[in-house]
Amino acid sequence: MSNYDYLETTLGLMEIICEDESLIGLKLVSEKIHRECENKTSKKVKSQIKEYLNGSRKTFNIPIKLTGTDFQKKVYEETLKIPYGSTKTYGGIASSIGNPKSMRSVGMALGKNPIWIIIPCHRVIGKDKKLTGFAGGIDKKLSLLKLENPEIEIKE
């Protein structure tokens, strides 16, 4: 059974979805549509997201359960390896998982990222350092990248 909780942030309202002791979903929503049910995991998520957004946290130690196809899970696992303040290209992710020509598929997988911010899809950029698609909006992607690295060079 899934538990839902919410966190109001500077980026907007985040919906936190937990199953057992694991986080399975974190996304921006326009309104609360489920009954809030805080548990130990969602409480930890809220605390760590607040710390991340105020600049005092660089890594997360929240148990997550990856969902999706095998390909999507490989993409998410590789994306989790991108360090705070760094970026990697879609092609770089594709090469790292052994499918060097699957940049678009990587982009599509990241577009379905169920655990926004914690699986840091905002750190994945185009090969020309351009910001491309982001489910939360390009403005939010840029603000997360600038939060992590104010000196980052990005082509808007």
Q: Which residues are catalytic?
A: 121
Q: How far apart are CA 90 and CA 48, in angstroms?
A: 27
What residue spans of the chain are helical by DSSP H?
40-53, 70-79, 90-96, 103-111, 138-148
Dihedral sign from CA coordinates of 129, 131, 133, 135: positive
Q: How far apart are CA 71 and CA 105, in angstroms?
A: 9
Between CA 89 and CA 96, with CA 95 as vertex, the angle to 5 degrees is: 90
